[in-house]
Homo-oligomer: A and B are copies of this chain.
């Protein structure tokens, strides 16, 4: 190997960055999957069940037909001129594809677009936001991105100057935030979600953490809020959101609102309200609060992770700052057009009266209702395991149960040089093929241990998942019970 590049002389920010949802346990799972292929029967299970990541279609969720019809027609517009197409595609997919193509200069789905994304698609997204929120939205505020992650990186890149710039992040948090802050050399300023109150966000704790950080010389630039929560699955109450908005305004923080699970709500007494809607309802406008809302085609009922579509809606930034955001976007030219089109579709799906509406509605409701049932089944199952306690799955795609691990297990983990929850997750994988992410990848109150498990295995597999999990846990406890 050429010696000029070695781990010792790489960018230390890269070395520092961690990303647990694709970390050690997942790499081990990939090895086991290969082993299952090359030596079938050599493991105590016959398939790997990836519950580590919100990737619905990898576990069998089917894409929404209307969306895929439109994508296929936009990919190969010649189809629109053929008679057979009318019998293969729904009429509204055909007309939507025509409308989208006509909004693209030269109908060129293979051309770089404006760096913020195709204007006509941003118009559709802005209209979707306005109809969701009841407040106007502007296509000029929309930046289409390859999924939500590049948008988050862009904002971190913009705000973080050095290790004295801090970003307030929930703990537990989705590790994209810790990874991005590490890559950009900033300081993660943690605030704890309160597990006892269903992962509540206490303004008093926020304030305390902010002051602590400031007293250490950290210039806190922004607050990240993930709503519905990842990995914690809670849905914020509107009065809590109002307090957060006020806090950001008073403290001069950018509010980075991760709203990618806005369609994933499973309880009747909660609903999604965007932070922009909350802020506008409070009478706050452009001058009061710099606010970024992230949305993605990967989540919701659509679950189109592989298409890498998403957007950020940016309000409350001055024109010169927006120019800088535009410049960073332009260095990567534009996000992929398929993802752009899909982002416009999820924000403007079929409406009552459209030919596809009934089938679209049935697909959407089927997926969301099934997710709600799966969330409840897993939540109940976890709560029936010795030492487990699991909050209600109100939204998103995950459960994040706490596990009271016996002292003997903690010592065994120490001997194996693993965090106790990583040790548990590894043993779970090796016994059952189920892949979960240890809580240490997300952050947790020191001395507590968790796992994050998606609710995404298909419904007919849930009973078997629960049975396997239960059998493993009982054996684990039998081995390590104090």
Interface of A with B (CB < 8 Å)? Answer: 1-7, 9-15, 17, 19, 22, 30, 53, 55-60, 63, 65, 68-69, 71-73, 75-76, 78-79, 82, 84-85, 87-88, 105-106, 108-115, 146-147, 149-150, 153, 157-161, 176, 179-180, 183-184, 221, 249, 252-254, 286-290, 298, 303-308, 316-318, 320-321, 324, 327-328, 330-339
Contact = CB atoms under 8 A, between A and B. Distances in A.
B183 A307 contact: no
Given A10-B159, A331-B19, A290 B4 contact: yes
Given A2-B287, A146-B336, 6 more contacts: A2-B289, A7-B320, A19-B331, A110-B305, A146-B308, A338-B338
List 9 A-B pairs, minimum CB-CB distance, nearest first.
Answer: A4-B252, A58-B111, A72-B76, A306-B337, A308-B336, A22-B330, A57-B110, A57-B108, A72-B72
Contacts of A76: 68-69, 71-72
A4 B247 CA distance: 13
A146 B149 contact: no
A112 B305 CA distance: 5
A370 B210 CA distance: 62
Kindly name the residue among A2, A53, A108, A254 whose own CB sees the greatest number of chain B CB atoms within 10 A: A2
A65 to B, nearest CB: 7
Contacts of A84: 84, 87-88
10 contacts: A4-B252, A6-B320, A19-B327, A19-B331, A58-B106, A63-B109, A72-B79, A75-B75, A110-B305, A306-B337
Contacts of A331: 17, 19, 149, 176, 179-180, 183
A338 B340 CA distance: 12
Nearest to A342: B110
B317 A1 contact: yes
A479 B263 CA distance: 62
A452 to B, nearest CB: 16
B2 A53 contact: no
A318 B1 contact: yes
Contacts of A146: 146, 308, 332, 335-336
Kindly name the residue among A11, A146, A252, A286 whose own CB sees the greatest number of chain B CB atoms within 10 A: A11
A57 B160 contact: no
Contact of A14 (B5, B59, B289, B327): B327
A6 B321 contact: yes
Nearest to A302: B110
Contact of A335 (B2, B179, B249, B308): B308
A253 B307 contact: no
A19 B333 CA distance: 10
A75 B75 CA distance: 8
A332 B149 contact: yes
A55 B5 CA distance: 35
A13 B333 CA distance: 18
Nearest to A306: B337
A15 to B, nearest CB: 7
